Amino acid sequence: DTGVSQDPRHKITKRGQNVTFRCDPISEHNRLYWYRQTLGQGPEFLTYFQNEAQLEKSRLLSDRFSAERPKGSFSTLEIQRTEQGDSAMYLCASSRMGEQYFGPGTRLTVT
């Protein structure tokens, strides 16, 4: 068990550019979650997958955000036309039975 991994750990981009983050869950976990965390706040739920199916999306997930989990293993989160308000830590978590295990996060800075 190598834990949840995320790549990259840090991303600096200019406003208007597209960015993509990757999450590799714990191998036997069938559920995968994306959260956003801003400074001084707890994580906020964005979306979740059960295997390859995206089953729930938060209203925080605007049309510029899209997530995929094509083979039920790793997942990608893409943000198109980034805005300064997208600057945050993006956390991925996976689970099998209830408790979620988190990755180290990707810190996005939009300049």
Partner 1 sequence: AQSVTQPDIHITVSEGASLELRCNYSYGATPYLFWYVQSPGQGLQLLLKYFSGDTLVQGIKGFEAEFKRSQSSFNLRKPSVHWSDAAEYFCAVGGGGNNNDMRFGAGTRLTVKP
What are the residues binding partner 1 (CB under 8 A)?
4, 6, 31, 33, 40-45, 48, 55-56, 91, 93, 95, 98-105, 107
Q: How far is the CB of 29 from partner 1 (least distance, A)?
A: 13
Q: How far apart are alpha carbons 51 and 79 in whole angstroms?
A: 22
Provide the CA 76 distance to its chain's centre, in angstroms.
Answer: 7
Q: How far is the CB of 82 from partner 1 (least distance, A)?
A: 21
CA atoms within 13 A on the CB side of 90: 30
Which of residues 22 and 107 has its CB atom nearest to partner 1 in the complex? 107
Which of residues 79 and 103 has its CB atom nearest to partner 1 in the complex? 103
Q: How far is the CB of 16 from partner 1 (least distance, A)?
A: 26
Order of all β-strands in the sheet with 5-7: 5-7, 19-24, 75-79, 65-68
